Structure 1
Amino acid sequence: MRKMPDVDVTDFSLPRRRTRELSLSTQLAAISLLRVLRPLIHRSRRFVATIVVPEDANVYDYSVAAHWIMENPRAGGIPMTVHYDIFAVNDKDDFRNSVKLSRTNEVRRAIVLMQSTATLDADAHLASDLVAVLPRTSGEDIKIAAIRMGFGRISDKDAKFLSGHSLASLTMAMRAGRPIGNAIARLKAHPAKEEEEQPVSVVLPFPDKPTLQDLPAYGDAKTWGLELATDIADWKAGKLSWADVDHGMLLSGPPGTGKTSFATALANTCGMVLVAASAARWQAKGHLGDFLRGMRAAFDSARACAPSILFIDEFDSFSAREEYSGDGASYSRQVVNGLLECLDGIDDREGVVVVGATNFPDLVDPALLRPGRLDRQCVIPLPDAKGRLDIFRYQLGNDLKSQNLDSVVKNSRGWTGADIQRAARDAKRSARRAGRELELKDLLSAMPARVMLPAEVIEAVAIHEMGHALVSVKLQSDPLVYVSIEDSMVQDTKFTPLGGTHFREAAIRRKTSTYFENRIAMLLAGMAAERLVYGDHSIGSAGDEKADLNIATDLATMMEITWGLGRWMISEAVSTPEALSLARTRRPELADIVESTLRTQFKRATDILEPRRELLASLARSLVNRKTLSAEEIEAAVENHERQMDGGTAALVGSSS
């Protein structure tokens, strides 16, 4: 990197009226920029200068300052703005942007502003006549700014005092027209509280805390954690290289499934220190520099405590960079880039296993999940009946050991581990206040009352779910596993699924336009079945990201613009509901195509169900009575019905001849 020239910048020879129009922060940016740009401006009429601004600086201030410098002839600039341009670069890919590169060739002078040295690479050096990394604001810079803003000269002692304050504090105190002595007195009379380092929670393993062996219903995550514990033990004993140990995992699942509890139990099982962090904690102060410092401090703490588990909650905060737009795009990209820097390099964080937790794994930037980073993914699902029973037993300890908990387990359908923990805690509190041992009635009273559904609602849900099942069997989309419905619900919850058609998605399958068309038809078959039987359908099919019509709409959109399976071959790497919705809004012709696809597949589902109305009604009645039907039972009924239909057709043909 080229050394910054040693230039005297105490005399800018600029009109005082013009310089006073700049704010303090922009003045300081202009001083720093002129220190490196002035020799280049004076000796060359054409240049490309790449400048990395200080880590805690606002790139907007430097952009304003750069425009001011280039438009001021006495600073060496050129008054005609068409001859220069200022670019803000967010990452390496942005620097290689063909439009921006072509602009640097069209203008006489180009200044490229970067917010991180991580963006500097060979391309930046090849394209630039000057590359410079600016230091943080110094006392000397403040002395120059004070003169230019009309405060007069200040002593070295006062300049040193002022340089110890944040730019925000200086901007508030050093107001135009206020004597510098007054500003200094204000800062001394109202000292800013010392900024605390970004908090990092470090928890040592304790023998009285649960391990993964103690905790039920964690599925694949528990299996992975136990295998990691074995590998960590071998690594500590020198039997295994750190390169052979999994050093990252993304843990996902609905809220309340115990992701934080898993991290604690994992650290305790492995005998490792737990360092807890989150995007919200790093972002508490709001500034990009504070965010990045907090992030690096967490990794530094984890390295200092190694072997350790670095647990990062709210991992979906680091979402796909291509989805960013608007004013916050640069901030968000720098955050993801900063995390990538911290994650990269096995040797740099030997002994540190990073576990990210999220409720929305699909939002995480794919680059964070590549090999060497968080390349393992485990899902903690909602516990099934056995899992809920195991969690109840764990939370109750020695209480109710001889009691049958079937009624409790049945009433907890759809519950998370956190829900069960709360119910057990409330039940124990009730027993304590009554001055007696815990009884089953305490546990039942601690659970929300379930309301029995009206018979007509149960029947409609059964019709809807059997519509999905029949169309899936006929089209042979994803393999059907079973269909289930509920006969009761918790009244005070926002959303309670009253039924479900459960599929097993094949791990390896050739997914073509036919596959997705079949899947869309299956998704719309519940609505089609309701319309066939009742003449209309209920609102349960839409209005939520996980609802049938919403999923079908997004699939139809992705067929067109993501996978090249529709009328266009142009591919856009978008997959989130928000991005897909925006694409449909911006492109009316796309919305029309998606609408056409949905209506075509809805009619297709209707055409499949129409001749099978009796079978639909019969299977729905069985589902109402039994609450669950297996795929084998449904497929056998369909096969039998098809034989009867074929036999009836053959009989008609024979009689006509």
Structure 2
Amino acid sequence: MSIASLRSPSPDTETDDEPHIEDNAPPPLAERTSDALAQCMLEAALTPALKRLLKARPRLVVIRTAEESSAGMLERYLSGQDRSTMVAAYTERQKIGGRYEPQGRTELDLLEKGRSVILISQDPERVLVPEALAGADAIITVPDPDLAIIRKTIRMVTGRPVRGLLPIDVEGLSIHDLTVAIRPGLSSRDCIFNLRRIANARQKQDEGDAPVPLEQLAMTRAASDWAFETLALMRHVTDGKVDASALRFACLEGPPGTGKTTIAAALARSAGYRLVSTSVGSWFADSGGHLGDVIRAARKFFDDIALSNDPVVGLLDEIDAIPDRASMDADDASWWTPVVTFLLTEIDRLRKLGKPILLIGATNHFDKLDKALIRPGRLEHKVSVLLPDFDDRRRMFAAYIGDRIDAGGIAALARLAVEATPAQIESWCRSANARTKTEDRPLELADLMNLIAPSNGRSPETDRGIAIHEAGHAVVAHTLNLPILEVSILGAGTMGGWVKPKLKDGVLTRGDVENLVTMVLAGRAADVTLGDGANSGAESDLEIANTVLRSAMLDLGLYGPLTTVQNIDPRHWNNGSLWTAIAAELDRLHDRAVRIVSRRRADIFRLVEILQVERVIIGDRLAEILEAGPTAEKPDKTDDAIEDHIPVAGRI
């Protein structure tokens, strides 16, 4: 248990009036393993003061989890406990207008309405808006389940005492492993047996399996191109055809879980190089954080590489933990400068040795790196290891599943796994395989479907309403020739679904802005025209539409006066008519969206029916659906196609 901060102090010595699971009293049986596990993990992290705080109104709590799957599990559990509290889990920033923006600002607006808010993330400092952490009444760290938590979970699920469970029985198991092994209807002994079997299989795999060779690793195209070009060069160096100085040190950058360390290990194996890995975080953890100890820990890593008689791949992870000296104040610079200088000197030393050495850095935050670290001659080659697209995801599922599920099933999984990292895809496949082995049956498509897109408890009527909204966005975008990458009715936090447009660099015209705003307002137009009427699901759409029009009028000079917001009080823009101008444009473009929705209602309803089944539809599939239907009436001239770039996405 680790409590990062608590801003609502209460003495912890007061009586805790929350229920506990006592060893000598049978607990109520849990209907779902994940709920029981979430409850036990949360109880282990809560002090009496924090439990009282969670009952207060309105409160803002941030929960930090050890992994992404824990965040989603806690969100489902807490959402079912108190309907008056807004609970949202976020594992990644949201891409808006070509930039990744932090999450949670919409939920914070509920505080002034008297609602309580709980935000959950495995990386809240990066994923959540700064106001969430600064204003939180408590920041609670919920660790991975330990032996005591797993025992309590088994007892809640089975209703029976747990005896004989040892640390080795649960070592290395993931959240998915636990929910696969611990099931309602089994005895506690059966659950322990399942845990041991999965742990033994995981241990044998870790001990007996070398890293996957590069040829068998599913990667995105950009990462694959770099990896195989580098592999060919490494083999030429080994064969003496090329001098070792030709090896370019690289920096792999991208979101967590995209496979940066896996790629480095696979590259080393395929090239026949020895892998030496470390992380900046381990230098501090292993040394106590004293300056001299940190440098000694770093020197051990570089010496291990420099003194090796074999070709070496050196992996330096978490390099963004070394701050950029340009952003430091004087006090920080006095401590960090020796560390940064030592690191740069050691990289230069490896380069000058003339040995077959490939040094690879890995980071989630490339923009935070010291510029001297990534200049030519050091970690000079930037390799983006990003989230896989549809084709990448399809290849990854096929690599882990083989021919046990047909091509159509693989494609369905790839559609559902939107925004999934390679690590998530691997975890889903391993968990599904483990479950079918424990049940001694073949792998089925539903095994993976239930892991990737579990039921969110929404009614069919709610699903249909969300599908109408998102189909409105998609069909209007298609009508206006605005390319769409995917449309989905999968829930994510407060979003019921989304439409993701294809982004393209370029200048914006007034026509581009009007087509964009029309597409953004099309969800509400579909609600009004084809659904049950306007609803709160269009809140973020309206915010986007207002922001885009305001920017077009005040910043881009696309409407009326050419004065910008820096040079004029917006209240006096065009004789004080800014609000009136935005309102008029919103009404006009909303009416335009309504006309397109009305003309293409048959296409929208056909897309709604398919969305309710497939839940995620990618761009090519969307075009296939819409072009196969009855030909829509030709839009008037204002609805003609435009350039295929969109700076923001329409979302429910």
Under a length normalisation based on structure 1, what TM-score does the superposition of the two structures give?
Answer: 0.48
Greater Rg over alpha carbons, structure: 1
